[in-house]
């Protein structure tokens, strides 16, 4: 059983900044989707990760976007707050993060993280690392008119 089995994903306009533990970025370049493949998985995911102690949530998003995609030049904007509740995650407690959108215009030639490669594609992937979570984030960004 994966930690995300039975996950419930919710979206909010805002919460207290202290609750934000994660930053996830829906990224595109030249109108195409950008997904990451972790070295230890055969699936794809949106760039993102944990906020470090004392780190601003936007700084966390920028750091994760660079680490996981090699993005050097980009425009980034917040979409909304998200939360995930799952029996196997934080004891079922609601964990919060900030969802961003980034339009990347320049990449570093090599990745220097746990990410094996990035995939640039016309359509979202089907083999997700977190199937009940990341597709919902894209759906919410579309609902809010951020991406098409």
48 occurs within a structural domain: yes
Closest CA to 125 of 54, 18, 27: 27
pLDDT above 80: residue 90: no
Per residue in 41-88, pLDDT (tens digit) is: 999 999 999 999 999 999 999 999 999 999 999 999 999 999 999 887
54 occurs within a structural domain: yes
Spatial contact of 100 and 25, defined as CB atoms under 8 Å apart = yes
95 occurs within a structural domain: yes
Q: Say what the pLDDT of residue 91 is.
A: 78
Domain that holds residue 111: 8-143
* Span 99-115, average pLDDT: 94
pLDDT above 80: residue 137: yes
pLDDT above 70: residue 129: yes
pLDDT above 70: residue 3: yes
128 occurs within a structural domain: yes
Per residue in 25-34, pLDDT (tens digit) is: 999 999 999 9
**Among 4-8, 70-74, 143-147, which is the least confidently predicted range?**
4-8
Q: Say what the pLDDT of residue 147 is.
A: 82
pLDDT band for position 131 (cuts 50, 70, 90): very high
What CATH number is attached to the domain comprising 41?
A: 3.90.79.10
Average pLDDT, the chain: 94
Q: How many CA atoms lie within 13 A of 5 on its CB side?
A: 4
105 occurs within a structural domain: yes
Q: Residue 89 corresponds to which tokens in the numbers above?
A: 């995650």
Global confidence as pTM: 0.95
Q: Residue 90 corresponds to which tokens in the numbers above?
A: 């934080």
Q: Say what the pLDDT of residue 66 is.
A: 97
Q: Say what the pLDDT of residue 1 is.
A: 67
100 occurs within a structural domain: yes
- Give how many domains the chain has, as a whole number: 1
C-alpha 63 chain-centroid distance: 12
27 occurs within a structural domain: yes
Provide φ and ψ at 68, rounded to 5°: -95, -15
């Amino acid at each position: 059983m994966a930690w995300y089995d039975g996950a419930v994903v919710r979206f909010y306009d805002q919460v207290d900044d202290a609750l934000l533990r994660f930053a996830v970025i829906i990224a595109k370049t030249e109108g195409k989707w950008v997904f990451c493949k972790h070295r230890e998985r055969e699936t794809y995911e949106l760039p993102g990760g944990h906020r470090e102690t004392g780190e601003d949530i936007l700084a966390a998003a920028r750091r994760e976007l660079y680490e996981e995609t090699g993005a050097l030049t980009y425009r980034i904007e917040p979409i909304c707050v998200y939360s995930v509740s799952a029996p196997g995650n934080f004891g079922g407690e609601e964990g919060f993060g900030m969802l961003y959108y980034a339009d990347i215009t320049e990449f570093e030639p090599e990745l220097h993280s746990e990410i094996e490669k990035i995939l640039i594609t016309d359509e979202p992937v089907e083999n997700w690392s977190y199937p009940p979570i990341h597709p919902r984030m894209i759906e919410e960004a579309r609902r809010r008119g951020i991406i098409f």
